Amino acid sequence: MKHTITAALAGVIAQGAISQCAWAEPGRAPALVKVRNPVEAASDPAETGFRVFVEALRPDATARGVSRAIFDAAFRDVATPDAEVLARTRRQGEFARPVWEYLVGAVSPGRITRGRAQGARLAATLASIEAQTGVPRAIVLAFWGIESDFGASAGTVSTIRALATLAQARFRGNLFREELLAALTILERGDITPARMKGSWAGAMGQVQFLPSSFLAHAVDFDGDGHRDIWNSDADALASIAGYLKNLGWNPGLSWGYEVVLPADFDLTRYRADLADFARRSVHRTDGAALPVSGEASVFLPGGIGGPAFLITGNFEVVRAYNTSDAYALAVGHLADRLAGGPALAAAWPSKAARLDTDGLRALQTGLAARGLYAGDADGRAGPKLRDAVRQYQIGQGIPADGYATPALLARVKGGP
């Protein structure tokens, strides 16, 4: 994406002041650039507003240890918001599409083939990471594959411009303002330069698509070169994924989940239990392996009754901490299983099943909250809170408690007692 090139957004500095670039080619002195007052230089009101917003960040950045030189260099080529970034806030595939459609692309035959090849190429690195963190190499590879197609599609959008655009628009409140300040902190620490700090439209960076705050908390310099380089170092990228999952509580003794067959008389009101209890109730894995003898799990029916059934563990929620979409978490888990040599899903998806769109889910959340069953934001996203609320409503109504949100369920919530 081409960005408008301007003199450094150095802040409101005196006309005729000199700004020095913080990064230069090896063996070359930094260029000296004469700049005008950036607010006075803008002729478009939108550009002026953007520059004023950026300049207002300077005191907070300074308080976090970001130098004037780094701040100026970060915004030197960032003059206006990115219209495409704003447009992308209205369309997110893992939330908008049915889970079965999302999985088609996320766990494609081509991705499985590429992932197995990458696993073989990086076998020693992955083995070392797994030994240090307890996170299975297949899970690490699956994250890498879904986030950036194993490093091939790490993103080309300027992280600073994307975050500044979202922060000025107050998309999700102050979240992206804080992420922008975190990105400036990363630049100050020297892990990457502004020109190479690139990623997605939402400010997620590099091969692992970490937001800056996640980078500061979890990124790892695994190759020992002194930089946590999730943009260009495969080893750093993979170790950072594993470190993140370990820090969030990954349990090495359990999988993310298991595809299972529920018996015809299975009591869906008892949807959370020990794995041993599920086994006693004649729940069995579709791949023929035995369920673990310890650990807790819950029934997950992402397509409702008649579609694939899963027992998901606490590790599923660790995966969701990376991205809060149920479809995303299921894709990571299933891709990991396929990369490790596991089979495709045994049950067919109900591809024509009725489902709620984002507005419908938001209305359902609101309706269940009015009944005291749902506590959380009406954000139009399916997740564990909404599943539990739907199940409690279904149990109270004496209907099968599959936790699946449908238009018929919404109509019942709106019109029923």
Looking at the annotation, which residues are catalytic?
147
Distance CA 125, CA 178 (A): 33
DSSP assignment string, 108-127? -HHHHHHHHHHHHHTHHHHH
Q: Please write down the long-range contacts of 319-323, taking CB distance under 8 Å and 24 or more positions apart.
A: 319/139, 319/245, 319/256, 320/383, 320/384, 321/248, 322/143, 322/244, 322/245, 323/94
CA-to-CA separations, 136 to 99, 250, 332, 352, in angstroms, rounded = 24, 10, 12, 35
Exposed, middle or buried by CB within 10 Å (0-12, 13-18, 19+), for 3?
Answer: middle
* Beta-bridge mates of residue 299: 311
Q: Are 160 and 177 in contact (CB under 8 A)?
A: no
Q: Are 335 and 142 in contact (CB under 8 A)?
A: yes
User: Which of 279, 408, 258, 275 is CA-nearest to residue 347?
Assistant: 258
- Return the H-helix or E-strand segment holding 212: helix 212-218
User: Which of 194, 246, 236, 193 is CA-nearest to residue 215?
Assistant: 236
Going edge to edge, which strands form the sheet with 257-261?
A: 272-274, 296-300, 309-312, 257-261, 284-285
Q: Which residue has the tokens 């109730």?
A: 281
Q: Which residue has the tokens 């470190």?
A: 243
Calculate ∠ Cα 405-408-411, nearest 5°: 105
